[in-house]
Structure 1
Amino acid sequence: MLNLLLTLAMTATPQAKPATNAKCPVLGGKVTEKSKTVAVRGQEYRLCCAGCDTTLLKNPDKYLEKDGTPKNAKK
């Protein structure tokens, strides 16, 4: 039993960092704490609508900087 617990603990997927973006990285729409989220490279992002999750997951480099900052975020 202990071996099973250790195996599960070692293979568990680390939880993504919580979303902090103020607008959708794909369309730039307003997001809130209740907005749909998607995890990309260990970071969650809030999205303005349902279609943005597939778009972001399909091509994250188009919408995210190498450090994970949305490209449409204010500098």
Structure 2
Amino acid sequence: MKKSILTVLLITAASAVFAEPQTTCPVMGGKINKELYTDTNGYRIYVCCKGCIKAVKANPEKYIEKMQADGIELEKTPAK
């Protein structure tokens, strides 16, 4: 039991340390276009096409949680 808890903690810590920048669209899985994004919930989320912007805006938590679970380091929304 102690080993499994320790293993989970180590994996969680490692994923935070080795997080990768976003390179794929969270909706369609294709390569992102750095000119297409939406700023939501404090993060800038890049997508592959304009249709994916609508999908992210409709349910941002879904895509934020998915990317974080996949070890993707989300870019913070730039200060204005």
Q: What is the TM-score with the length of structure 1 in the denominator?
A: 0.55
Query: Which residue does the alignment assign to 1:10?
Result: none
**Per-residue deviation, 1:30:** 0.4
Matched, 1:38 2:38: yes
Query: Could you list the per-position Cα deviations for residues 15-36 of structure 1 after superposition, in whole angstroms to 9, with x for gaps in the alignment?
Result: xxxxx41111111110143x30
Q: Which has the higher contact order (CA 8 A, sep 6+)?
A: 2
Pairwise mapping of residues 1-75 of structure 1 onto structure 2 (< 5 A)?
A: 20-33=21-34, 35-65=35-65, 70=67, 73=70
* 3-state SS, counterpart of residue 70 of structure 1: helix
Q: Supply the AA of the counterpart residue of 1:61.
A: E
Contiguous gaps of at least 5 residues in structure 1: 1-19
**Larger strand share, 1 or 2:** 2
Name segments (4+ residues, structure 1) moved above 3 Å: 71-75
Identity %: 31
Q: Supply the AA of the counterpart residue of 1:23.
A: T
RMSD between aligned residues: 2.4
Report how many aligned residue pairs link the two structures: 52
